[in-house]
A and B are shown apart, each in its own frame.
Chain A
């Protein structure tokens, strides 16, 4: 099989994995080596579906001895199979990297023979890349659930980030759809990665040359829309994972019908829940950068996000007692809660008001979205002159703004649809 075919098969098999970021570790160039890494990561291109492409995302192999119902690579699926040799994978990575096509490698694998054997092949490839090719760029590796902890540890010494996919948002769904995987088999390596990284950080404080274990931390992903969990359940689960396992990121992946299993939504006519995925990312963002707690965003009476509003506006409209916020005196945390004011806008307001009081005119220049925030703020005790609106009017206008802001016609249709039916 030639390289073109292998790459096609093994990239195709990896593409449903949502994670592609290259962030979380800083490393300058190394003399005699190739590559560096920056804390904020770097996008090298965007594919036709609008997702960023940062890493060469491929599987070591798509031969799999497991049979997870939601996965294209499941044993029972009839599909061309391929495997990279470590050398092929290194050449591909280095030649793409030199041409600045990519920021690094994202290596995952289906389970060939056994978790241990698979992990060993991955280690062989990464070791060759790091030592013989002196590759100093970013590597994200997937830990294989069920592998010997000693092997996972070695993988973590070669990679910048390790991740284990939680796959489905509840144990019940997991039992049903991924009978070969146990919740514990997924959580055990997560705990191991957390502890390994902590220990490595502690050692690095003492000895500068102590081995670095997954310095960019760990991430996970789960599939949404294949099983019946609510948004609230998913958010609480991810908040728990952030806390308990010190995760850097939780990725959500709208279920794509790749299987005709009777346990899953039927492929014909099934639309992947893209809007829902988008709302979950927005909420995730609010938790990580805007100090929202999951139980603030959703509760028993309100277990799923409003399709027509972003979660922040949704929250604001349900908490009008919190508003208006006075631009000239509100603390930073309160500014952050105003729809239309981002982290950067809030910081700028703090700087600007040290010099003098901020007016609506001045506010416009600070990079806040007036159209959104005007309903929620006062400047010097007064609302924007001339602004008059009923609560329903505000809702309609904000929903209209949100529709414009959505990335793609597909989404716009979705909100319209939900509005009519819901």
Chain B
């Protein structure tokens, strides 16, 4: 059996299509790259267009031979920043479909499963964090924000904000993965975005930010300062896009990237 490098569109559907192709051509993957990745490998390449019915067949098989929960975890694990996540998930899928079935699912002390579980935990932690730590600015009536997450959390947190602020228009940009979540009129979409600039904040916006900063400072109890505890809960890497950690008003809507 010859190994190949799969090139696909980076979506979960696309990934499942690759799995399907690997069965058809009996070509196990040596690597996965997306159409946009500039790297090349020494392996011969197979380009795979996302094919929904094929992806669907793999998806169904995973629910039957594995469990729906296992399948759901794979889908989520696909959003994590686990290095070589596609290869790792591919390995689990093969083991599940080629005979181990539900055993893969329940063996949490299996070393590969343990790594995936850890990555998932980090994803969910980041999701939880960002539900709270995202800061929006009102720019001409639209709620605009930026994040710089490790994992691809937009598909998880975007819909949460859409439901919560369903009467608003929202744009939330992910600097790491260069994509943005857009919402208006009960519809949302995640699109690749190369550059994202927000205009300067208006007077009202600056006033609200000032009030928030004041509130934030005021509620800390003197004599109880505890930077260790604070950092344990609110890791420093989130702070550069949070209003309360920005010193007085810069004119930009949001601070620039950390140096």
A residues in contact (CB < 8 Å) with B: 3-4, 7-8, 11-12, 14-16, 28-36, 42-54, 56-57, 92, 95-96, 98-101, 103, 137, 256, 272, 274, 348, 351-352, 354-356, 358, 361-363, 365-366, 407-410
Contacts and interface: CB of A to CB of B under 8 A. Distances in A.
B89 to A, nearest CB: 18
Given A32-B167, A99-B135, A100-B161, A49 B243 contact: no
Given A29-B164, A99-B243, A50 B230 contact: yes
B219 A15 contact: yes
Interface stretch (B3-11, B73-81, B106-114): B106-114
B165 A50 contact: no
28 contacts: A4-B214, A7-B214, A8-B218, A11-B215, A15-B220, A28-B163, A29-B163, A32-B167, A34-B167, A36-B163, A36-B164, A43-B132, A49-B226, A50-B232, A56-B215, A92-B211, A95-B208, A96-B211, A98-B165, A99-B243, A256-B221, A272-B224, A348-B108, A352-B109, A355-B107, A366-B108, A366-B114, A407-B228
A152 to B, nearest CB: 26
Interface in B209-259: 210-212, 214-216, 218-221, 223-230, 232-234, 242-244
B219 A99 contact: no
B148 interface: no
Given A45-B244, A49-B229, 12 more contacts: A15-B219, A34-B164, A48-B230, A57-B219, A99-B208, A137-B164, A256-B223, A355-B106, A365-B114, A407-B229, A408-B228, A409-B228
Interface residues of B, number: 52
Report whether over half of chain A's contact residues are helix, strand or loop; otherwise say mixed. Answer: loop
Task: Please classify the interface of chain B as helix (H, G, I), strand (E, B), loop, or mixed, using the class held by over half of its residues.
Answer: helix
A137 B108 CA distance: 38
Given A29-B166, A98-B136, A7 B215 contact: yes
Contacts of B132: 42-45, 54, 100, 103
Interface in B160-175: 160-168
Contact of A31 (B103, B166, B244): B166
A352 B107 contact: yes
B151 interface: no
